[in-house]
Structure 1
Amino acid sequence: MVERFAPGIGVRAATRMWFTVPPAMPRSLLPPPPRGRDAHLELDGRMLYSTVWGAGPPVYLVHGWGGRSEQLGGFVAPLVAAGHRVVAFDAPAHGASGPGRFGATSTIPEFASALHAAVLAHGRPHAVIAHSMGATATAFALREGVRPGRLVLLAPMGDPRAMLGAFADQLGLGTRVRAGLERSVQHRIGLPFEAFDVAATAGVVAVPPTLVVHDRGDREVASAESRTIAAAWPGSRLVLTEGLGHRKLLRDAGVLEDVVGFVRAPLRDHRGPA
C-alpha cells in the first residue's frame, strides 16, 4: 500500500530507521578495560566520550555501528604493554557520547570525523584498529587525510550500498521506496555510495599495510567483503577465523595475538597506487 499510494511516507520512515542508532550493549555486560584517563574530545561542539591508556605511538580503536569503545577493550592491555598509547572513543550518538548532527543518528562521515578529531588531539596514528562499520569509516578517513602507519580491519563492512539493499529486503520495500531511500540517504550524507566502497579506496589513496580479519560464519557482514578488500589492497593480509561470528573475534585470544603482533611489527616501505 505504501509503495503504491504513499511512497514518500515510506521513504521518510525507512530513512529514519536507517540512520537511527540502535541501543548499544550496556557497559556493565562487557569486560571492563583497564582504568584509563578521560580524554576531552569534541566534534563540532558536541562531546565525545573518549579514554586514553599508556604512552608512546598512538593506536586508535574504532567500534562499529551500534557499538561502543569498550567492545575493543581486549586490545588495550597488550598494546599498552607493547609501548603504545591507546585511544578509544564512542562515535556520535553511540555509547556515552553526545548526539550526532541530527540527534540520535549517525553516519559514516561522522564516524570518520570523530576519528579525525581524536587524531588531531593525540597525533598521527601508528595504527588504527577498526570493527565493522568503523572499518568502513576508517577507510573513508584515509580519503579525508588520516594517515595511519598500519591498519587492522575487523569484519569490515565493505559495501554500504549492498548493506542498504539488505536493509530494504529486510523491510520488504518495493521498487519506488527502495530507490527513494537510496536517494534520501545520499542526500543526507552529501556523497555517493561509491565514496564508501572500501575496496575501491586503494584506487584513490595509498593504503597502509593492512591486516583484515573476518569470521567465515559471520551472519551480519559476509566474509566475502573482506576477501574483496584484501584482493584490492596492495600488501594486505587476510585472516579468516571459524566460529567467532561478528563480535566474538574482538575478544578471541588468537585474534588479539595476531592483531597486536601485526601492530608491533617494524614498518616497512609500502607504496600504494600513485
Structure 2
Amino acid sequence: MSGEPGGAAGRTTGPSGGLRLAALRGGFGALDRVAPEVGARWAVRIWCTVPRGGGLRRDERPGEGERSTVAVAPGRDVVVETWGSGEPVYLVHGWGGWRGQLGAFVAPLVAQGRRVVAFDAPSHGESAPGFLGPRRSTALEMVDALKAVTAAHGTPAAVVAHSLGATVTTIAVTDGVAAGRLALLAPSAEVLSMTRTMARHLGYGERTRSRFDRRLEALARRPLRDFDLTAHDVTVPVLVVHDRQDKEVPHADGVRVAGTWSDGTLVTTEGLGHRRLLRDPGVVDVVTRFVAASDGAQGSSPAR
C-alpha cells in the first residue's frame, strides 16, 4: 500500500491537467468494462508513483545536521540527518515529502534536550530508489525504513509524523517499535476510503477496484486493514493535530483517529491546510510541549 488521494493521479489542475484526467478516465472506464485486471495493474502503478511538487520540497531546517545513511535492504540506503543530543525524537514525512518539510521542529526539540532524527523514505528526498525503482515506493517500504532507522539510532522517546507518515509510524509501533509518545499531524484514518476516492477520480468501477485492492494486499504482504489507524490499539500518549480546511485528508479523519485510542488528544487548527501546519509556530509549540511531556502540552482547543 502506498499513495494518498490526489497523489500522482491527482495533479491534474489547469487545461493540460484536465485533458490528462479526461484521458485517464476514458482509459480506465474502457478497461473496467473489458479488462479490469489490466486496469488494476495500471492503477497500482499510479498509486505507487511518488508525486513531485514545490510544496513537497520546502526546507524548514535551521541548518544542516549530521548526515549518514542506513541500509533498509542490500543496495537500498536511506539518508538520515540528526541534530542535538539526548533521547531521540524522530521526524517522519508523508507521501512525496522529505525530511526538510518537518525542519521547523528541529530547533525547539533540540532546545528541549532531545536528539532529532529525520530521514528520507525510499524513493523520497535524497534516499536511494525503493524496490519498485525510481520514483516509486510503498507504505510498507516506508515502515521498514522507519524500523531500520530506529534500530540504528535508538528507541524513540517520541515520533512526530505527517500524513501517510502517521500511518507508517502507527504500523511500526504496533509491529514492535517502542515509541514513548506519538504526535500525528493530519493523519488519514483508513486506506479503503482512499482506494474508493482514487476509483472515483480515475473513473473505474468495482470490477477494477476489487482487483486493485487485492494487488495492494499482495504488494504489502498484509491485509489493507492493517493500514487503518482505527484498527490498531495504541496505548502510548498520542497527540493528533489536524486542520479544518485540510483539502487532502479530511479533518474528520483526525477526529476519528484521536477518538480511537485511550490516550489520544485532538488539537484542531484553522486555515493551515495539509502542509502549512508543519511550519506554523503554534503547532510547533504544542507539539514540542507534548513531546517534552510538559504540563498543558495537550488540549482540544485550536493551536492558533
Under TM normalisation by the shorter chain, which class is it?
A: over 0.9
Matched length: 264
Q: Which residue of 2 aligns with 1:15?
A: 44
Cα displacement (A) at 1:23: 2.0
8 Å Cα contact 1:130/1:154 also seen in 2: yes
Alignment of 1:91-130 (within 5 A): 91-103=121-133, 104-130=135-161
**Matched residues in 2 for 1:17 and 1:125: separation?**
33
Q: Which residue of 1 aligns with 2:283?
A: 255
* Alignment partner of 1:208 is 2:239: no
Residue in structure 2 matching 1:244, options 272, 275, 289: 272
Unaligned runs of 5+ in 2: 1-29, 296-304
Deviates more, 1:7-16 or 1:249-258: 7-16
8 Å Cα contact 1:129/1:154 also seen in 2: yes
Cα displacement (A) at 1:207: 2.4
Alignment of 1:56-205 (within 5 A): 56-103=86-133, 104-202=135-233
Change (3 A) 1:240 1:115: same
1:49-84 Cα distance to aligned partner (Å, 9 max, x none): 110000000000000001111000000011011110
**Matched residues in 1 for 2:173 and 2:56: separation?**
30
**Matched residues in 1 for 2:143 and 2:58: separation?**
27
8 Å Cα contact 2:58/2:101 also seen in 1: no
Change (3 A) 1:230 1:57: same
**Matched residues in 2 for 1:186 and 1:265: separation?**
37
8 Å Cα contact 1:62/1:130 also seen in 2: yes
**Matched residues in 1 for 2:44 and 2:171: separation?**
21
**Matched residues in 2 for 1:196 and 1:59: separation?**
23
**Residue type matched to 1:210 in 2?**
V
Let me know the Cα RMSD of the aligned residues.
1.6
SS of structure 1 residue aligned to 2:89: strand
Q: Which residue of 1 aligns with 2:252?
A: 224
Change (3 A) 1:24 1:67: farther
SS of structure 1 residue aligned to 2:159: strand
Q: Which residue of 1 aligns with 2:6?
A: none
Residue in structure 2 matching 1:3, options 25, 32, 50: 32
Cα displacement (A) at 1:27: 8.2
**Residue type matched to 2:125 in 1?**
G
TM-score when scaled to structure 2?
0.83
Unaligned runs of 5+ in 1: 268-274
Cα displacement (A) at 1:266: 5.6
Change (3 A) 1:79 1:114: same
Deviates more, 1:177-186 or 1:243-252: 177-186
Change (3 A) 1:164 1:262: same
8 Å Cα contact 2:187/2:249 also seen in 1: yes
**Matched residues in 2 for 1:102 and 1:210: separation?**
32
Change (3 A) 1:218 1:26: closer
Cα displacement (A) at 1:28: 7.0
Cα displacement (A) at 1:164: 1.2
SS of structure 1 residue aligned to 2:288: helix
**Matched residues in 2 for 1:255 and 1:16: separation?**
35
TM-score when scaled to structure 1?
0.92
**Matched residues in 1 for 2:181 and 2:36: separation?**
45
Sequence identity, in percent?
A: 47
Cα displacement (A) at 1:25: 3.7
8 Å Cα contact 2:58/2:100 also seen in 1: no
Cα displacement (A) at 1:174: 1.8
SS of structure 2 residue aligned to 1:39: strand
**Matched residues in 2 for 1:265 and 1:31: separation?**
24
Q: Which residue of 2 aligns with 1:38?
A: 67
**Matched residues in 1 for 2:285 and 2:256: separation?**
24
8 Å Cα contact 2:91/2:161 also seen in 1: yes
1:71-122 Cα distance to aligned partner (Å, 9 max, x none): 0000001101111000000001111111112113212211111111111111
**Matched residues in 2 for 1:55 and 1:29: separation?**
25
